[in-house]
Amino acid sequence: MNRASVIFTLLLLLMPPLWAQTGLKSSSASKPQIMVLAVFHLVAKKDMFTQKQGDTLTDKRQREIEQVVERLTAFHPTKIAVEHGDDGKLNERYQQYLSDKYVLTADETDQYAFRLGKKLGLSRIDSIYYPVSFDPDEAEAYAHAHGQKPVWDAAFDRGRKLIGQLDEVLAHGTMLEALRFMNSEEAIDLNASMYLVLDRIGGSNEYPGADAVSQWVREQSAYLCQPHALDYLT
C-alpha cells in the first residue's frame, strides 16, 4: 500500500531584488528574494494525517483567506509557483478565473494562488511538481517484528501532535494564524522530527526506516531540479 505522508502545498513567491525596489544599481550579489510558504490542504486528501478545518467556503473562512492574500500582497511578488502536476490545466483554469468565467473551488491553489495572482495582475501561475510517495509499510512491519514498535509509535506520535496543534488553532483562530503556526519553527521541527525517528527503525543488514526516509527526501529534493524551480533559484 502506498501511503502519502503529511504533504503541504508549497507556494513560492518571487519578489524583485531589493535594488529594483529602491532604485539602487544592481550588482552581481543582487538576487531575487523567494518566500516559501507551506500551505496545508484545504480539501481532504488521502494523507496519513488530515486536519479538521471544516468548510473553507463559509463566509467566515473566506474573509480569513482574503486576509491572508492581503498580507501576501504586501511582499509584491512578481511570480507565483505552486505544487501542481498539470501546468496546462492549471493555467487554463487561471485564465478563466481572470476572465470571471471560473468559480474558485475550496482547493488551496484556487483560494491562495489564484486570488493572489489576480490581485497582483499576474498573467500566469507557475507549477513545480515531482511525483512523490511515502510508503513506510516495510518499516512498520519490521518494527512490529523486531521489538521496535515504540520507535514506530514515537515517530508518528509527532505527526499526530502536529495535526492536533493545527486543529486547535483552526478551532479557535483564523486561517492566517493557522498558516503562521504551520510555518513556525515549532511546526517545521515537529514535522521533520518524525522522519528522524522513523530513520532509526532497522538493524543488521535491514534498514527499512532509512530506506523509506531516503526515498522521501530524494523525491522531495527533485522539486529543486524542476525547470521553474531552477529559474526561481537562479
- pLDDT given for residue 19 in this prediction: 40
- Tell me whether residue 1 is in a domain: no
Instruction: Specify whether 85 is located in the same domain as 194.
Output: no
CA-closest candidate to residue 140, choices 125, 127, 155 = 155
- pLDDT given for residue 189 in this prediction: 92
Tens of pLDDT, residue by residue over 155-178, are: 989 989 999 999 999 999 999 999
For the chain, residues with pLDDT lower than 50 are 1-8, 17-24, 26, 28
Rounded Cα distance between 231 and 234, Å, is 5
- pLDDT given for residue 102 in this prediction: 96
Residue owning grid cell 492581503:
70
- pLDDT given for residue 4 in this prediction: 36
- Tell me whether residue 32 is in a domain: yes
For the chain, what is the domain count? 2
Instruction: Specify whether 14 is located in the same domain as 41.
Output: yes
Instruction: Specify whether 201 is located in the same domain as 118.
Output: no
- Tell me whether residue 58 is in a domain: yes
Instruction: Specify whether 110 is located in the same domain as 203.
Output: no
Global pTM? Answer: 0.81
Instruction: Specify whether 55 is located in the same domain as 169.
Output: no
- Tell me whether residue 48 is in a domain: yes
Instruction: Specify whether 152 is located in the same domain as 216.
Output: yes
CA-closest candidate to residue 45, choices 105, 107, 135, 102 = 107
- Tell me whether residue 4 is in a domain: no
Instruction: Specify whether 16 is located in the same domain as 126.
Output: yes
CB 200 within 8 A of CB 149: no
Q: For the chain, give the longest Cα–Cα distance.
A: 65
Instruction: Specify whether 47 is located in the same domain as 119.
Output: yes
Q: Quote the domain boundaries for residue 183.
A: 137-223
Number of Cβ within a 10 Å radius of residue 32 = 17
